[in-house]
Amino acid sequence: MKRALLLSVLFVALPGLALAQQPAAKPVSVAEYFPTELGHEWDYHLTIKVGTKTRFILYSTRVTRTEKIPGVGPCALFESRSSSRLLALGWYRATPGQIVNPKRQHGASIAFLDSRVLLDRRGLQRLKVLERQRKSAPKSAPKSAPKTAAKSDSKPGKQPLPALKGPSWSWTARSGRAAGRVTLLKREKLWLRNYGDLQCLVLRDEGRFQAGKQMRVQTRTIWLAKSIGVVRETMAVKTEAGKVLIETEARLQHHESP
C-alpha cells in the first residue's frame, strides 16, 4: 500500500519537476528590429511621384552619434543624406522593451513627438495572439450561387476573414500641429534584391499635420527586418478631400553594420 502511494505521489510530482527544470523563455527584444548602434549605415533607392512626374534618388542613412533628449534619455541620431544634401534627422531610442522616436527634423522644421512609440514588446506579444486567432478562425463554407447571379471574382471558401485590429500607439506633436497613430499590422515576407526573402514586421503610421492653413493626411507603411531595421517604406501625403499630393517608396539596397 505504501509503495502504491509513493508511486502515485511521484507521478503527480514528476510533471512539475520537469517544468521546473526547463529554462525560462528568453524575452523578445524589439530592439532587434531597429539597430541603433553607432556605425550602422543603410543605402536606399527612393522613388518619388508628384502628379504625373516620377523621379528617383539614392540616399543613405547613418547612425552618427548619441544625444540626450530630456524626459527620454540617450537617443541615437539617424542622419539621412543624398550625396552631401541633408534630407532628414531622426532621434530614436531602442531598448529590449520599446522603440520610441521623440524627435525628427525635415529641413528647418523640427518636431518634438510626445509618446511616439514605433513598437513595444506587449504589442509584439499581442500580434502573436491575433495571429493564432486568425489561424484558428473557421473558414467560410462554400456557397452555391443562384444561376441568375452575376459572376464573381471571389472563389468559394476563400472569402476574407474579418479584420483583426493590431496593437497601436497614438502620438502628438508638442506644437499641436500634428497627431497620429502607429499600428502594428502583421508579419509579412518581403523579397529584396541582395537579400532574398525577409520575414518582416509591418507598421502603419497614420497622421494629420498642418501645412500653412491647410491640413494634410500622411500615411507611412514601414517594413522592419531583424538585425537590419527598415528595409522598405512607403509614404503618401493627401489633402483632407483625398487628393494625392506626393507618394514615395524607399527600398533597401545595402546595409552595413559596425
Domain count, the chain: 1
Whichever domain contains 94, its CATH number is 2.40.360
156 occurs within a structural domain: no
pLDDT at residue 222 in the model: 97
14 occurs within a structural domain: no
12 occurs within a structural domain: no
Per-residue model confidence as pLDDT tens digits over 179-231: 999 999 999 999 999 999 999 999 999 999 988 889 999 999 999 999 999 99
Where in 142-243 does DSSP place strands (E)? 168-173, 178-192, 196-211, 214-225, 229-239
| Residues 209 and 219 sit within 8 Å (Cβ to Cβ) | no
pLDDT at residue 106 in the model: 87
Per-residue model confidence as pLDDT tens digits over 103-135: 999 877 888 888 789 999 999 999 988 888 888
21 occurs within a structural domain: no
Domain limits for position 103: 27-132+166-256
pLDDT at residue 141 in the model: 52
Mean pLDDT of the chain: 83
Identity of residue 20: A
Per-residue model confidence as pLDDT tens digits over 58-83: 999 999 999 999 999 999 999 999 99
185 occurs within a structural domain: yes
158 occurs within a structural domain: no
160 occurs within a structural domain: no
What is the rounded CA–CA span in Å between residue 88 and residue 86? 6
